Amino acid sequence: MSAYSRFLVPLFLVGCAIFLLIGSLQSALFAQLTVSGLANGGIYASLAVALVLIYRATQVINFAQGAIATFTTYIAWQLMTWGMSYWAAFFLTLGIAFVGGTLLELITIRPVERRGNILTVVIATLGVLILVEGSVGWIWGAEIRFMPSAFPARFIHVRGVAFSLQDLGTIGISVASVVILWVLFRFTKVGLAMRAAAFRPEAARLVGVRVSWMLSLGWGLAAVLGAVAGMMAAASPSVLLQPNMMDGVLIYAFAAAVLGGLESPAGAVVAGLLIGAMLNLLGSYVSWVTPQLLLPTAFVLMLVVLLVKPSGLFGRTQVRRV
């Protein structure tokens, strides 16, 4: 069994890719659904990587990730409302997200970590969720607002199939942000230190890495990814800019993180894209899967994965630091 099981996961993924490809070639609708599904998936993937970043370092599930993304998206909206151009607002928001995420960890999580155990920190992140989502409602109110998009509402036609520029742009930006993050982790000193602090905090301290700073930085980067996810989500047709807009997305992101393996960023990306595409196709082709049932489907998926292969598609059963 184990001799073949190494190939199961890659085989499965290749199978999915082939399925999507062939379907797209056969049917215009399929192709469109796949692409827009991948766009959703890109959003899930970005948020999922943010979750993985924090989980990898601290074993904490950051329930507030979606709310933080919402907050930063509102900031972007506000900047644009004040007249800033889209891309200027976009990048400024990323900067604000980084600083904000770092500060948030410092102020709300650090004091709790010092005191308690994992469960207290998890509850604290729930507190942050309530606080941040509440802040959005407090500052901006609960009315639905309109979020401009980076991309004009045009379509690209390939072989007679129309793909929205918005979707393609979303896929592009999500993938780009994750790749940039990957480069950061792989090739910079800080990235190496963050990885070392995540894997072996005690050994990292011995070589001089300030582990708690690395943690704060991790939250900052996670917030940046969340901001990207949020801005893309708000611009997409299926999500409206309102205080609880990322609640559902968060669940899909959780599902992606779990499916990919909670400690594997690459897994989160692949799983996110996959979930996005598959759910979109499922929603259209299977009649009893109504839009309301998509979220419960994701829940069931998470449950099944955690029961059957908790380490996810890409996870290894690692020796846990106790």
Partner 1 sequence: MRAKAVVIGLVALAIALIPFVLSDYHRSQGADVAVYAMAILGLNVVTGYTGQISIGHGAFMALGGYTTAILTHDHGWNDIATLPIALIVGFVAGVIVGVPALRFHGAYLALLTFAFALAVPQVAKNYSHFTGGTEGLALPTHSGLWLYGVGWACVAVIYVFTWYLLRGRTGRAFRATRDSAVAAASSGVSLAVYKTFAFGVSAAFAAVAGSIYVLVNNFVNPDVFGLTLSLYILIGAVVAGLGSLWGILVGAAFVQLLPIGLTSSNVISAEGVPVLFGAIVILVMALVPRGSAEVLGIVLGLPNRIRSSHDSSTPHSLEAR
Partner 2 sequence: MASLLELRDVEARYGPVRALHGVTLTVGKGEIVAILGANGAGKTTTLRAISGTVKRDGAIEFGGKPLRGGPESAARLGIAHVPEGRGTFSELTVWENLRLGAYTRRDSSAADAQRVLAFFPWLEERRNQQAGTLSGGEQQMLALGRAMMQRPKLLLVDEPSLGLAPLVAAECFRNLQVLNEQEGLAVLLVEQNARSSLAVSHRAYLLETGRVVLSGNSDEIASHEGVRRSYLGY
Selection from partner 1, partner 2, none that 202 binds (CB < 5 to 8 A by kind) is: partner 2
Q: Does residue 199 bind partner 2 (CB under 8 A)? A: yes
Q: How far apart are CA 36 and CA 30, in angstroms?
A: 10
Closest CA to 112 of 244, 200, 215, 194: 215
Report what 111 binds from partner 1, partner 2, none; CB cut-off 5-8 Å by kind: partner 1
Residue 157 makes CB contacts below 8 A (sequence gap 6+) with 163
122 binds partner 1 (CB under 8 A): yes
By CB under 8 A, what part of segment 175-214 binds partner 1?
Answer: none
- 217, 101 Cβ separation under 8 angstroms: no
Q: Is position 200 an interface residue for partner 2 (rule: CB under 8 A)?
A: yes
Phi and psi for 145 in degrees, rounded to 5? -120, 170
- Say whether residue 127 binds partner 1 (CB under 8 A): yes
Residue (27 or 59) nearer to partner 1, CB:
59
Distance CA 45, CA 266 (A): 9
Single residue of 153, 159, 160, 202 touching partner 2 by CB under 8 A? 202
**Of these partners, partner 2, partner 1, none, which one is at the site of residue 124 (CB under 5 to 8 Å by kind)?**
partner 1
For the chain, the residue count is: 322
Contact status: 224 vs partner 1 (CB under 8 A): no
Quick one: what does residue 112 bind among partner 1, partner 2, none, with the CB cut-off 5 to 8 Å set by partner type? partner 1
Residue type at position 53: L
Residue 125's nearest CA partner among 140, 139, 141, 104 is: 104
For residue 187, state whether it binds partner 2 (rule: CB under 8 A): no
Binding site for partner 2 (CB under 8 A): 189, 192-193, 195-196, 199-200, 202-211, 318
